[in-house]
Structure 1
Amino acid sequence: MYTAEKPLWKNRLRASGKRARMPRRSLRCSTAITGFWRANMKLHDLHSALETRIPRAYACEWDNDGLMCTPDPDAEVRRVLCTLDVTDDALRYAAANGFDVVLSHHPLIFHKLGALTPDDHIAKKVLFAVQNGISVLSYHTRFDAMPGGMNDLLAGALCLMQTEPFGDGESDMGRIGLLPAEIDIYDFCAQIKRVLHADALLLAKAHDTAHRVAVLGGDGKDFIRGAIAAGADTYVSGRLSYNTMAEAAEMGITLVEAGHFYTENIICAYYLRLLAALGIPGACYDSNRIEIV
């Protein structure tokens, strides 16, 4: 049986009598996967399995990911909550619904913590996780860059063929490929919105059509030059910048900003498949807190 995992804000709004405005679900990955549970899978076993499948060698030097915190590396893993972001709502949901592991893309701890006190919002989340028996694992730029990872998933979702890596000089985490046929740029934008379930896009048009397309989930402004050098006529990313988009026509490349959340939340479906292969029940949590208003 498939059951929906709903964020706490909806229940709070319902209780208050206000009309709940639910964000769109990205790629419909807010359902639980049930199946055979592999008994005696410990946290350190899960960590080892993820480190093997998502190798640290692909991570950027400045990144901090992997095991973020655990109250007990020998604790048995019974249920895993997958999310793009480790928000306080996600952790409270995990604690209230029997999840002992939270598996995210964006690291819970990115910058060094000077102290573990409730005065800092990140440290407060770490303390809450540990106090509630929850381990947190995060896989960030290594998942972006690895073969079959974030940007291969994004390229596949947009139907790109003959894909190959491109980069910014530090990492070749971007992907570039060909659409099955040249397409009107507005039709391509409609396709992006439909596939990623994005509320809106920003378009800076340099060409009327799209064919050779570069993609990079999340914040991709540093890869624009790399996309141009790789021969892209169109570049799709989650977040670009005003200045670069304003100069898109002058640079000769169409830029499409599809939203950081929407271009990366595809990781949740990947995590569920990986967990199912390991025999671990999992579910996805919609961590998006940003609305178009």
Structure 2
Amino acid sequence: MPTVREIEQALFELAPREGAMDWDNVGHLLGDPDQAVTKVCVALDITEAVAAEAIEQGCELIVSHHPVMNCKWLPVQTVRSDTAQGHLLLRLLRSGVSAICMHTNLDVAPGGVNDAFAAALGLEDPGPLGDPEGLCRVGTLSSPMPLQDFARKVCRDLHANGVRYAGCGKPVRRVAVGGGACSDYIHHAVAAGCDTFVTADLSYHQFLDAEGMGVNLIDAGHFPTEDPVCARLVSYLTDRFPELTVFKSASHREVIQYCVEGE
């Protein structure tokens, strides 16, 4: 059976470490690199529910997109059972479960997060948007679509609980996508001639500015815009290591709910 180290090396062939941003924390972050692996759980995040699922299913490894430890937003200064992060890390370590995390390197990789996102929306001829980091993708619809109809399509295609959107009066045809928090790239979408940009974590003021910028904005949520890559990771690992049992987490799903008056 392959070891954690060998699986990490294979994942870096898909999404090279060099593609990660300098603040990021990617690769094998938790556990024994020489541990033999028979079963792998793939999830967008390593949550308590995902940890419990992996342990219950007898997994030696979790492969996730978001790092279980990332010093940009949650510095690791202690590992204590009376903190949320410490409790999770100790639970995994005591159960012999390793963690490999492919984050911004998987965002930019061919076939990674944003290619999976573009494919989920059925965009034709997707390619790089031209942003400096190479994160976002741009493609076209087979025929123009009213914004409200496209917003419904995005919600349906990504299995989102809801989407937020604001329009500039244009029908949707040329679409840029950026999985997760990619609001910094709105200007690049406009410069590339896109009428619509689909991403997550947009602010009130960005929606307010959409009409003046001449672009439709759709916020489909952080989880729904990135989760499509998990199926690709399952397929990739299954192809590379046929002897492994690899599955996508059934416990991890969108946690944000929407309440609409009149429902």
Amino acid at match of 2:115: D
Question: Which residue of structure 1 lines up, in the alignment, with residue 258 of structure 2?
Answer: 292
Select the residue among 81, 90, 95 that pairs with 1:118. Answer: 81
> Aligned match of 2:191 in 217, 222, 229?
229
Aligned length: 252
Residue in structure 1 matched with residue 33 of structure 2 by the alignment = 73
Asked if structure 2 preserves the Cα contact closer than 8 Å seen for 1:183 and 1:210, the reply is yes
Conservation of the 8 A alpha-carbon contact between 1:179 and 1:211: yes
Higher RCO by CA contacts (8 Å cutoff, separation 6 or greater)? 1
Q: CA deviation at 1:218?
A: 0.7
Q: Hey, what's the Cα distance between the residues in 1 that align with 2:257 and 2:25?
A: 28
1:247 aligns to what SS in structure 2?
A: helix
Determine if contact 1:168/1:225 at 8 Å carries over to the other structure.
no
Runs (4+) of structure 1 exceeding 6 A deviation are none
The answer to whether 1:62 aligns with 2:27 is no
| Counterpart-to-counterpart distance in 2, 1:96 and 1:147 | 33
| TM-score of the two chains, using structure 2 as the length reference | 0.91
Q: How does 1:117-196 map to 2 (within 5 A)?
A: 117-169=80-132, 171-196=133-158
Kindly state the Cα deviation for residue 214 of structure 1 after the two structures are TM-superposed.
0.4
197, 201, 206: which is aligned to 1:244?
Answer: 206
Counterpart code for 1:241: S
Contact 1:154–1:263 (8 Å) recurs in 2: yes
**Once the 2 structures are TM-superposed, how far is the Cα of residue 178 of structure 1 from its aligned partner?**
1.4
Distance 1:149 1:211 in 2: 23
Supply the AA of the counterpart residue of 2:161: D
1:217 match: secondary structure? coil
Corresponding residue of 1:7: none
In the alignment, structure 2 segments of 5+ residues that lack a partner are none
Describe the SS at the equivalent of 2:178.
strand
- Indicate if the aligned counterparts of 2:117 and 2:229 stay in contact, CA closer than 8 A: no
TM (normalized to structure 1)? 0.82
Question: Aligned equivalents of 1:124 and 1:91: distance in 2?
Answer: 11
Structure 1, unaligned runs of 5 or more: 1-39
Identity of aligned residues (%): 33
Aligned residue in 1 for 2:43: 83
After superposition, what is the alpha-carbon deviation per residue over 1:86-124, rounded to whole angstroms, capped at 9, x for unaligned?
Answer: 101111121122111111111100114112222332222
Question: Tell me, what secondary structure is at the counterpart of 2:34?
Answer: coil
Q: CA deviation at 1:234?
A: 0.3
Q: Secondary structure at 2:18's aligned position in 1?
A: helix
Instruction: Output one character per residue of 1:133-155: Cα deviation in whole Å (capped at 9) or x when no partner.
Output: 00011111111111111111111
In structure 2, C-alpha distance between the alignment counterparts of 1:178 and 1:89, rounded to whole Å: 37
Q: Secondary structure at the match of 2:180?
A: strand
Comparing 113-122 with 58-67, greater Cα deviation is found at 113-122
Please identify, of 152-161 and 227-236, the stretch whose mean Cα deviation from structure 2 is larger.
152-161
Task: Give 2:122's aligned amino acid.
Answer: C
Distance 1:56 1:167 in 2: 21
Q: Which moved more, 1:43-52 or 1:245-254?
A: 43-52
